[in-house]
Amino acid sequence: MDEMEEELKCPVCGSFYREPIILPCSHNICLACARNILVQTPEAESPQSSRASGSGVSDYDYLDLDKMSLYSEADSGYGSYGGFVSAPTTPCQKSPNGVRVFPPTVPQPPPQQHLLPHPGCLPPIPRNSCITCPQCHRSLILDDRGLRGFPKNRVLEGVVDRYQQSKAAALKCQLCEKSPKEATVMCEQCDVFYCDPCRLRCHPPRGPLAKHRLVPPAQGRISRRASPRKISTCTEHELENLSMYCVQCKTPVCYQCLEEGKHGTHEVKALGAMWKLHKGQLSQALNGLSDRATEAKEFLVQLRNMVQHIQENGVEFEACLVAQCDALIDALNRRKAQLLAQVNKEHEHKLKVVRDQISHCTVKLRQTTGLMEYCLEVIKENDPSGFLQISDALIRRVHMTEGQWGKGTLTPRMTSDFDLTLDSGPLLQTIHQLDFVQMKVPAAPMLQLEECCTQNNSATLSWKQPPLSTIVVEGYILELDDGNGGPFREVYVGTETICTVDGLHFNSTYKSRVKAFNASGVGQYSKTLIMQTSEIAWFTFDPASAHPDIVFSNDNLTVSCNSYDDRVVMGNSAFSRGVHYWEMTVDRYDNHPDPAFGLARGDVLKDVMLGKDDKAWAMYVDNNRSWFMHNNSHTNRTDGGIAKGTTIGVLLDFTRGILIFLINDEQQGPVAFEGLEGTYYPAISLNRNVQVTLHTGLPIPDFYTPGEADPNSSVC
């Protein structure tokens, strides 16, 4: 009920409707508010001058006044009496509901006070008054009746009254003897309000009372206080009751309107019948709206759940981000420790080398200094003979010692600089480029069932990602089983979202599924779709795989040849399972050629007679006899040839692995070939003397009973 409150408030004053009237645009407004937003138009544009122009349009046939809108060029307006009107450019104001309204030409009391005098004492409406709907901004000029020309919305007024009554005060139990308690239910059949103790004592849910309908007190009050139907009177003829409904004008009318007014030639119906009809239409429309409202409620629940999930996922994601950054910091600290260890090692090495050189130079310098001091003391001696005895040796020692201080001796073996430079540029660049990337595998795709289908022995599948999925998809993997309950196998990997798989088994049930992948991995499978291929094979000759000398016609069902040599043409469908039968009619047969009919692998030779290589199994036939041939081996010569109009039948049974030929519905010879396994194409070879037409989709001949499939046989 609370949601309905906005429907019961006037767009001008913002309060509940009081004496609402219906504007021609179907919007409602309080009668007092309508008086407050009236605007007086210039005298030159009065309704009388418009009527004087000779127009015969009815009072409420309003014209488009977009160019003369009271608001802007984008607004549209209403005119009356068949003439265009121009509205004054009066400044507009806003109501408590935020709707723009025009102020009255003379001071008026505030709209929300509803200061309405007695209807008989209403001041007269100024001539040439104009009113603008506060909701759709359409304008019209009032006629001589003024606001009385608008019908009162008694239905809306009654709903407002009942709504206000339901909100007035709490209902009390009618059976409490002292200090009545607040009622909790109301019985529609008993028309009594009960509190919980009185309901259990006086209205137990058993016996005849079990069928009574208990409703909340507010709903019971509304139903109890529903006002009786009021008899409406005509706005044109105030003494006449509304008794009919004008279908063309879509408004209730009185008897006098039909006799004298503009509705005399219109189609009318009984008011009660149209009342029930429109109630039914409104109820039916409400059903659809109720469904949308239910969906909206479910959607809101889904959104609220999403809010909770977003919060939970946000906390989880933040924790994951902190953990990842901490892991990076830990890795950087470990690397820092390793680099510091390397620097310390280099530091110790340099110190050791320099200290060793210092120690070596110190010892050598001490020796040199000692030698120098000794030589100086020797020089001080005055004994020539003694000096000469040692001078040569000392001179040699001095030169030798001087040589030991030669080039490089006084050069440091190690520099004080560290020849190490930390290359942090790439790491800093990587840190600056550190950003969020796709970290989740794609969601399971959704198979679009309306686009998935089978045709003959081909299956087309279509899929898409879920609507709310934002995860990047790099490709899809489509899988099918073998049509016999076996394991799934990949049949397509790529970026497309639709795929047609050819060469499936006829009359087989396939299971299919698809999954998406990206750099993070492979997502979940979609739901499994079960598809049934055609029970009977429909196919034509295949121009793509035929020899260039083959000539096609009749939608690739009829073939002939341009060469005198035999040329091979195959069907566009392959068989590997089931029982299949097709026929070919000889349309032209000249000079007794030897056409061949049968099966072939996809890589059969196309420029020799069918059966010459090991890729074909055939029966070739002339006008008198036939032979079976495979790998150029001729067997089972049988009497009976062909002519123009002859029908050749081919029966392939994979359940037994055999091939049988027929001529004019009679089996030609014994079983032609046995042990057939794998995939085969229908095929024939012919030259320019023969023309053949293919017939497919045929039932198995009556004389033949298919065998049971060998459970141990393998099928490609």
In the numeric block, which tokens belong to residue 184? Answer: 């909790």
What is the b/e burial string over 207-223, where b = at least 16 CB atoms within 10 angstroms of the residue's CB? eeeeeeebeebbebbbe
Task: Choose the weakest-confidence range: 364-373, 463-472, 632-641.
Answer: 463-472
What is the b/e burial string over 370-394, where b = at least 16 CB atoms within 10 angstroms of the residue's CB? ebeeebeeeeeeeeeeeeeeeeeee
- Kindly state the average pLDDT of the residues 556-574: 94
User: So what's the pLDDT on residue 696?
Assistant: 93
User: So what's the pLDDT on residue 81?
Assistant: 32
- What's the rounded Cα separation, in Å, for the pair 598 and 604? 12
For the chain, what percent of residues have pLDDT higher than 70? 83
- Kindly state the average pLDDT of the residues 53-80: 36
Do residues 217 and 196 touch, judged by C-beta distance below 8 A?
A: no
Asked if the model's pLDDT at residue 62 lies above 50, the reply is no
Identity of the highest mean pLDDT range in 162-176, 424-438, 537-551? 537-551
User: So what's the pLDDT on residue 167?
Assistant: 67
- What's the rounded Cα separation, in Å, for the pair 4 and 99? 19
Asked if the model's pLDDT at residue 162 lies above 60, the reply is yes
User: So what's the pLDDT on residue 651?
Assistant: 95
Taking alpha carbons only, the member of 91, 185, 97, 100 closest to residue 138 is 100
Asked if the model's pLDDT at residue 55 lies above 90, the reply is no
User: So what's the pLDDT on residue 490?
Assistant: 93
In the numeric block, which tokens belong to residue 331? Answer: 């890795």
- What's the rounded Cα separation, in Å, for the pair 455 and 478? 18
Strand order in the sheet with 39-40: 39-40, 129-132, 139-141
User: So what's the pLDDT on residue 67?
Assistant: 32
67's CB contacts (< 8 A; 6+ apart) are 73
623's CB contacts (< 8 A; 6+ apart) are 589, 592, 641, 642, 643
User: So what's the pLDDT on residue 49?
Assistant: 39
Asked if the model's pLDDT at residue 640 lies above 80, the reply is yes
- What's the rounded Cα separation, in Å, for the pair 69 and 138? 8
The owner of tokens 């004054």 is 88
221: β partners: none
User: So what's the pLDDT on residue 563?
Assistant: 93
**SS3 state of residue 35:** helix
User: So what's the pLDDT on residue 40?
Assistant: 64
Do residues 460 and 499 touch, judged by C-beta distance below 8 A?
A: yes
- What's the rounded Cα separation, in Å, for the pair 182 and 171? 6
Instruction: Go through the chain and tell me how many residues it has.
Output: 716
Is residue 123 very low, low, confident or very high in pLDDT (cuts 50, 70, 90)? low
| More confident site: 151 or 106 | 151
pLDDT in tens, 13-26: 888 888 898 888 88
The owner of tokens 């009668």 is 31
Asked if the model's pLDDT at residue 635 lies above 90, the reply is yes
Do residues 140 and 24 touch, judged by C-beta distance below 8 A?
A: yes
For the chain, what percent of residues have pLDDT higher than 90? 40
Taking alpha carbons only, the member of 630, 580, 637, 639 closest to residue 609 is 630
User: So what's the pLDDT on residue 75?
Assistant: 37
- What's the rounded Cα separation, in Å, for the pair 96 and 111? 10
Is residue 253 very low, low, confident or very high in pLDDT (cuts 50, 70, 90)? confident
Asked if the model's pLDDT at residue 116 lies above 80, the reply is no
Taking alpha carbons only, the member of 329, 310, 313 closest to residue 434 is 329
User: So what's the pLDDT on residue 653?
Assistant: 92
- Kindly state the average pLDDT of the residues 52-63: 36
Phi-psi region of 120 (alpha: psi -120 to 50; beta: other; left: phi over 0): alpha
121's CB contacts (< 8 A; 6+ apart) are none
SS (HEC) of 240-263:
CEEEEEECCCCEEEEHHHHHHCCC
- What's the rounded Cα separation, in Å, for the pair 366 and 364? 5
- Kindly state the average pLDDT of the residues 284-298: 87
Pairing mode of beta strands 458-464, 690-695: unpaired
The owner of tokens 């994601």 is 317
CA angle at residue 68 from 62 to 71, to 5 degrees? 105
Phi, then psi, of 39 in degrees rounded to 5? -130, 135
User: So what's the pLDDT on residue 630?
Assistant: 95
pLDDT in tens, 124-152: 666 668 888 988 888 888 877 788 778 88
In the numeric block, which tokens belong to residue 628? Answer: 């079976």
Pairing mode of beta strands 242-246, 647-653: unpaired
Asked if the model's pLDDT at residue 65 lies above 50, the reply is no
Q: In this structure, how many other beta carbons lie within 10 angstroms of the beta carbon of residue 196?
A: 13
DSSP 548: T
- What's the rounded Cα separation, in Å, for the pair 17 and 441? 58
Asked if the model's pLDDT at residue 644 lies above 60, the reply is yes
Asked if the model's pLDDT at residue 347 lies above 60, the reply is yes
Is residue 251 very low, low, confident or very high in pLDDT (cuts 50, 70, 90)? confident
pLDDT in tens, 264-278: 788 888 888 888 888
pLDDT in tens, 592-612: 889 999 999 999 999 999 999
What is the DSSP track for 74-139? T------TTS------PPPEE-TTS-EEPPPSS----GGG-----GGGPPPPPTTEEEE-TTT--E
Long-range contact set of residues 229-236: C-beta below 8 Å, sequence gap at least 24: 230/154, 232/154, 235/145, 235/148, 235/149, 235/150, 235/151, 236/261
User: So what's the pLDDT on residue 333?
Assistant: 94
User: So what's the pLDDT on residue 100?
Assistant: 44
Burial environment of residue 576 by CB neighbours within 10 A (0 to 12, 13 to 18, 19 or more): buried
User: So what's the pLDDT on residue 418?
Assistant: 84
Please tell me the pTM assigned to this model: 0.42
User: So what's the pLDDT on residue 61?
Assistant: 38
User: So what's the pLDDT on residue 494?
Assistant: 94
Is residue 519 very low, low, confident or very high in pLDDT (cuts 50, 70, 90)? confident
- Kindly state the average pLDDT of the residues 197-204: 90
User: So what's the pLDDT on residue 121?
Assistant: 47
22's CB contacts (< 8 A; 6+ apart) are 28, 150, 151, 152, 153
Average per-residue pLDDT in the chain? 82
User: So what's the pLDDT on residue 502?
Assistant: 84
